[in-house]
Structure 1
Amino acid sequence: DGKKILSGSLDKTVRLWDTDSGQLLHKFEGHTGAILAIAFSPDGKKILSGSEDKTLRLWDIDSGQLLHTLEGHTNNVSGIAFSPDGKEILSGSRDKTLRLWDTDSGQLLHKFEGHTNYVSEIAFSSDGKQILSGSIDKTLRLWDTDSGQLLHKFEGHTGTISEIAFSPDEKQILSGSLDNTLRLWDTDSGQLLYTFEGHTDDVKAIAFSPDGKKILSGSNDKTVQLWRGLDGESLLKEGCDRLQFHPDLVKHDQAAEACLKYAGWDDKVKAEFRDRQRLSRE
């Protein structure tokens, strides 16, 4: 509901804050290593954290009570996610595996093996039936959630997978990489549909438009680019696709929202963003 903010730190704690007042609501202690990943449950009643101590911890948001410590990974927990219904927890690790856990019991349900280097990105499909993973081994893998079976291995990137996303209808998969490119894949066949080239540094943020027809990317080259998904054409050639974000690098949530609005979702924001662009260049 946007009323709370969650943070994880190198100090090994997770903290919950009130958005309006900035007041600290809870301090969650117990990890023995830096916090690398945090997440709210879909119903907002639980908090999940992953750490360098190789564990995940599940907490009650109201009481701050530790509900479960999920142990099994043999290296840092680099990514975590709740299933859309909140009944399962997914973790990715530098031990090259993904693991699926039951939220209520904390029991391990599946161990997904196949990546040859550490898992950098994980995601559930919107129905929770499929799991997508990206790795430093430069591949993406699509898995069946219930059986743990590998459905597809997506190969072609020449750098670490830095971002992954399902299209709104889940017929396509998008990946961003440290090879400076995005790639669009067919979910059912695993076939590469298009390679988006134009960034001059690592791709660090990707997003589909709500209708799935446009793709947004942000990069360490400090630009945001907007693409037409069907043919890879770069859109907004004088606008948001080359907007300079100074002095910081592109931030996914703000940049994506602003640029999609700039592309025509909101005329008022379009005008405002034109002014901001002019000022940033001056």
Structure 2
Amino acid sequence: MLKIQVNKLHSLTGHNDCIYALTEGPDPRFFYTGSGDGMVVEWDLDNPRDGKLMAKVGHSVYALEIDKERNLLFIGHNFEGIHVIDLENSKELWSLKMTDQSIFDIKAIGNELYVGTGDGIIHIIDIEQRAVKKHIKISKKSVRILAIDPSRRQLAAGLSDHSIKIINLADHSPIYSLDAHNNSVFGLAYAPNKPMLVSGGRDAYMNIWDTEKYYLQESIVAHMFAINYISFREDGKYYVTCSMDKSIKVWDAETHRLLKVIDKARYAGHGTSINKVLWSTYNQSIVSISDDRTISIWQVEL
């Protein structure tokens, strides 16, 4: 664990409330954040000091998603629906009032947008038609996190009912329902190069699933409090978790051994809950966002 070098490159400010949403742009040099103040901001990893305001909405933003093919940014506007920004012109193209619930996550694949909401529904939107094509009620509790396995054409949904639902993207039929955690499932990430899904929950456990048959390979007490998010490095060799315990942890994807802890005491990390992490495909830095209203950019040498 001692051989890994960690350097805090930047601490960015500008949001006036907790930062909840984080996504990488079609050009991975840029990333986007959304917060409780309704602001959505674009940041440049080559010149991160000055953020660019992309949108200001009336309620909290918990979810952001990118459509790389169309160069679009989808904003989940709590209680109002989604807003769609054309990134080339930095203008809103269209919006859709499709829920009066909290929007916890959004994922795009092909011509479809999947929106998970607080009433246990996944809304499927036709991006070209700019219209809802289907609603799938999968739980009485909130859909908290979505993850897509493009190779198998499957969608995983982590729920506040402690389960993970696996859905076939071809016909939207259910495939598996996993008794996953002892509390809400907040983190889900498919490995980019192997049949593996990693989940994290409010119970502080991290579970490793084999996605051939979706059986549980390993369960690890990974943090002191809730695991909020999981992100793989592009090559699939490592992944990071972040937690309500104010720490970021780096893991070996083969052995699931803990390699590094990044926190306030060791590296002047965040002072409150870390809500999301992103392992940049642009320069392999790690971006983290927090309830402390700051964004941190970390250089981790593995």
TM-score for both structures, normalised by structure 1: 0.75
Residue among 246, 255, 275 paired with 2:268: 246
Tell me which of the two structures has the higher relative contact order, counting C-alpha pairs closer than 8 angstroms and 6 or more residues apart.
Answer: 2
Instruction: Compare CA radii of gyration and give the structure with the larger one.
Output: 1
Higher helix share: 1
Equivalent residue letter for 1:148: H
1:149-168 residue CA offsets vs partner (Å, 9 max, x unmatched): 11111113101111101122
Partner of 1:59: 85
Give the whole-Å Cα distance in 1 for the aligned partners of 2:224 and 2:279. Answer: 21
* 1:258–1:269 contact (8 Å) kept in structure 2: no
Contact 1:45 1:61 in 2 (8 A): yes
Q: Which runs of 5+ in 1 are unaligned?
A: 260-267, 271-282
Within a 5 Å distance, the mapping from 1:151-230 to structure 2 comes to 151-169=175-193, 171-208=195-232, 212=236, 216-227=240-251
Pick one of 114, 121, 140 that aligns with 1:90: 114
Of 20, 25, 28, the residue aligned with 2:55 is 28
Counterpart secondary structure, 1:158:
coil
Task: Note the residue ranges of structure 2 that are not aligned, 5 or more in a row.
Answer: 1-26, 287-299
How far apart are the structure 2 equivalents of 1:126 and 1:35? 26
Q: How many residues align?
A: 255
Q: Are the counterparts in 1 of residues 118 and 143 from structure 2 also a CA contact under 8 Å?
A: yes
SS at match of 2:171: coil
Structure 1 position 73, deviation (Å): 2.1
Q: Is the 8 A contact 2:233 2:279 kept in 1?
A: no
| AA partner of residue 301 (structure 2) | V
Contact 1:6 1:16 in 2 (8 A): yes
Q: TM-score normalized by structure 2?
A: 0.70
**8 A contact 1:142–1:153 mirrored in 2:** yes
Letter in 2 for 1:246: A
Distance 1:139 1:245, change over 3 A: farther
SS across alignment from 2:230? strand
Deviates further, 71-80 or 197-206 = 197-206
Displacement of 1:229: 5.2
Identity among equivalent positions (%) equals: 18
Describe how 1:110-149 pairs up with structure 2 within 5 A: 110-127=134-151, 129-149=153-173
Shift of 1:26: 5.8
1:125-154 residue CA offsets vs partner (Å, 9 max, x unmatched): 234821111111111111111211111111
Match of 2:125 among 76, 101, 104: 101
In the alignment, structure 1 residue 269 sits paired with structure 2 residue 301: yes
Question: Contact 1:223 / 1:245 at 8 angstroms: preserved in 2?
Answer: no
* Contact 2:59-2:79 within 8 A present in 1 as well: yes
Structure 2 Cα separation of the partners of residues 66 and 128 of structure 1: 33
Q: What letter is aligned with 2:180? A: G
Q: CA 1:26–1:212 in 2, change beyond 3 Å: closer, same or farther?
A: closer
